[in-house]
A = this chain, B = another copy of it.
Amino acid sequence: MNKPRARLTKREQLMKSALELFAKNGIHATGIDAIVERSGVTKKTLYAHFMSKEELVVAVLRQYDEQARNEIRRQVENGGKTARGRLLAVFDFAEKWFQQDDFYGCLFINAIGEFSEKSAPIRQICMEYKKSLKGYIRELCEQAGASNPQGLAEELGMLLEGATVTAQISQNPKTARIAKRVAKVLIDKGIPKVG
């Protein structure tokens, strides 16, 4: 029933500011004070909503996870009518993403680089996200009639990661097109022609 709200709640303000700072500067480099200052909310209120910084980080990553999943599905579904077209639309989505001013690479890849401990819940969330993304690509591969959907999905997923990291480093969104070019080759090879 979620009635839409005009203004953001304090919680939403905090999570939005935290996300922006985590994405730009990393998690360890972002202090509570900076989040509090940017959000315009007091520290007391922050700790009324989140028990600790880690809980805030986890909440932000989870929310971003969900939003990113929805956004990619929405754009991919709009971007292609056939399953093959939707697979390629993944890389059109990537290009738009890379072009954003606030693109600082994949939040999850960056987070993994800061938390190597296997036990870290932050790592867990990142792994789940990537797993679900690969699952989605595999679904599209199945729908497209790939002879080995899992294998093709692994290839395309890896390609997307590579394009993301390369775009982050080179500050050049064209890497998405290079990846799309490769994707075409892999898709044509992995999906048997009909007729």
Residue of B with least CB distance to A171: B118
A178 at the interface (CB under 8 A from B): yes
How many angstroms from the CA of A37 to the CA of B155 in the assembled complex?
43
Which residues on B sit within 8 Å (CB–CB) of A118?
171
How many angstroms from the CA of A87 to the CA of B157 in the assembled complex?
22
How many angstroms from the CA of A163 to the CA of B165 in the assembled complex?
11
Determine if B114 and A109 form an interchain contact, defined as CB atoms under 8 angstroms apart: no
Residue of B with least CB distance to A113: B110
Which residues on B sit within 8 Å (CB–CB) of A158?
159, 162-163, 166, 175, 178-179, 182
How many angstroms from the CA of A169 to the CA of B182 in the assembled complex?
22
Determine if A181 and B155 form an interchain contact, defined as CB atoms under 8 angstroms apart: yes
Residue of B with least CB distance to A28: B28
What's the nearest-Cβ distance from chain B to residue A176, in Å? 10
Interface residues of A, count at CB 8 A: 44
Which residues on B sit within 8 Å (CB–CB) of A161?
161-162, 165-166
Interface residues of A in 138-195 (CB under 8 A from B): 151, 154-155, 157-163, 165-166, 168-171, 175, 178-179, 181-182, 185-186, 189
A68 at the interface (CB under 8 A from B): no
How many angstroms from the CA of A189 to the CA of B184 in the assembled complex?
12
A32 at the interface (CB under 8 A from B): no
A34 at the interface (CB under 8 A from B): no
Determine if A178 and B155 form an interchain contact, defined as CB atoms under 8 angstroms apart: yes
- Given contacts A130-B166, A155-B181, could you give 8 more A-B pairs where the C-beta distance is less than 8 Å? A26-B113, A28-B29, A105-B112, A112-B169, A157-B166, A161-B161, A162-B165, A185-B185
